[in-house]
């Protein structure tokens, strides 16, 4: 397996496009981070409807997640960074706690009656 | 920055933050492991949204006062469990990749399928109870 640390056209010229351009894996991963950030925004939007303040807090976490995903583009490619992923886990657990707290509050919001 | 990485000899992985054993794997494997973690994270978030929607948006089930909580709260808790477990699995997989070992088997699909099946059965029971009333 070619150990290609370069990005883009300066990579090795192998038959496998993945070998020639490991930036594809980086691209997919960046897209996955974007999807995750959108998911966080969706959760925030869902909470926002009935509880504006916690909803806005969760919504504000979305760009933070997106920025976390941009970090590997600037530093060592493919290097494992547990802190970023741990941040995602902590974010989701916090969101879960917020959701649980909201579940046990009586809502007078625009719920369907 | 780029020159340093280009000159990095194979097998050099001692400077990893966690002080892990083994050598830095192919970056694509690391990326793939990261994407798997992110996919589970999105699954967890979707479960939270589903649980929240059940509790907050559904009308109460007649005759089953806590019906919405019985269905929604397990989904939210499952979201937190999946978020934590997927991180632990990412750590395990990354260690296996570094050591060149086979990847450990994931428990997450089983946990997800089992809990969703239980919630589905509970939803059927709650619906039946409220319909029979």
pLDDT tens profile B37-86 = 999 999 999 999 999 889 888 888 888 888 899 999 999 999 999 999 99
B29 — pLDDT class (breaks 50, 70, 90): confident
pLDDT of B5 reads 44
Residue of A nearest to B70 (CA): A103
pLDDT of B73 reads 93
Dihedral (CA of B118, B123, B124, B129) sign: positive
Q: Which residue has the higher pLDDT, A104 or A15?
A: A104
Within 8 A of B77 by CB-CB distance, chain A residues are 96, 100
Q: Per the structure block, which two tokens stand in for B102?
A: 């086979």
The string of DSSP letters for chain B reads -HHHHHTPPTT--TT-TT--SS-PPPHHHHHHHHHHHHHHHHHHHHHHHHHHHHHHHSPPPTT-TTHHHHHHHHHHHHHHHHHHHHHHHHHHHHHHHHHTPPPPPPSHHHHHHHHHHHHHHHHHHHHHHHHH-
Q: Which residue has the tokens 């996955």?
A: A32
Dihedral (CA of A2, A77, A29, A17) sign: negative
State how far residue A57 is from chain B, nearest Cα, in angstroms.
15
Distance CA A25, CA B27 (A): 8
Q: Per the structure block, which two tokens stand in for B108?
A: 């997450």
Residue of A nearest to B55 (CA): A103
Distance CA A33, CA B47 (A): 18
Q: pLDDT of A24-83, one tens digit each?
A: 888 888 899 999 999 999 989 888 888 888 889 889 989 988 888 887 544 454 555 678
> Best mutation site among B42, B73, B98 for testing chain A: the one with the most A CBs within 10 Å?
B42
pLDDT of A81 reads 67
Q: pLDDT of B78-121, one tens digit each?
A: 999 999 999 999 999 999 998 988 998 999 999 999 999 999 99
């Amino acid at each position: 397996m070619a150990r290609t640390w370069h990005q883009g056209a300066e990579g090795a010229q192998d038959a496998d496009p993945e070998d020639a351009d490991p930036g594809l894996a980086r691209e997919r991963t960046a897209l996955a981070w974007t999807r995750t950030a959108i998911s966080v925004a969706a959760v925030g939007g869902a909470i926002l409807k009935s509880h504006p303040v916690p909803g806005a807090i969760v919504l504000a976490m979305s760009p933070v997640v997106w920025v976390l995903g941009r970090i590997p583009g600037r530093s060592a490619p493919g290097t494992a960074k547990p802190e970023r992923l741990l941040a995602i886990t902590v974010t989701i657990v916090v969101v879960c706690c917020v959701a649980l707290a909201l579940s046990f509050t009586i809502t007078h919001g625009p719920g369907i009656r | 920055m780029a020159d340093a990485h280009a000159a990095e000899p194979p097998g050099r992985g001692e400077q990893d933050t966690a002080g892990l054993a083994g050598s830095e794997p192919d970056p694509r494997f690391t990326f793939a492991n990261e994407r798997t973690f992110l996919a589970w994270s999105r699954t967890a978030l979707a479960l939270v949204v589903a649980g929240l929607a059940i509790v907050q948006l559904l009308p109460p089930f007649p005759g089953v006062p806590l019906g919405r909580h019985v269905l929604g709260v397990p989904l939210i808790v499952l979201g937190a469990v999946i978020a934590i477990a997927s991180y632990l699995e990412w750590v395990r997989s990354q260690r296996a990749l570094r050591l060149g070992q086979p990847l450990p088997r994931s428990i997450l699909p089983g946990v997800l399928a089992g809990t969703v099946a239980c919630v589905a059965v509970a939803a059927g029971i709650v619906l039946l109870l409220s319909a029979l009333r």
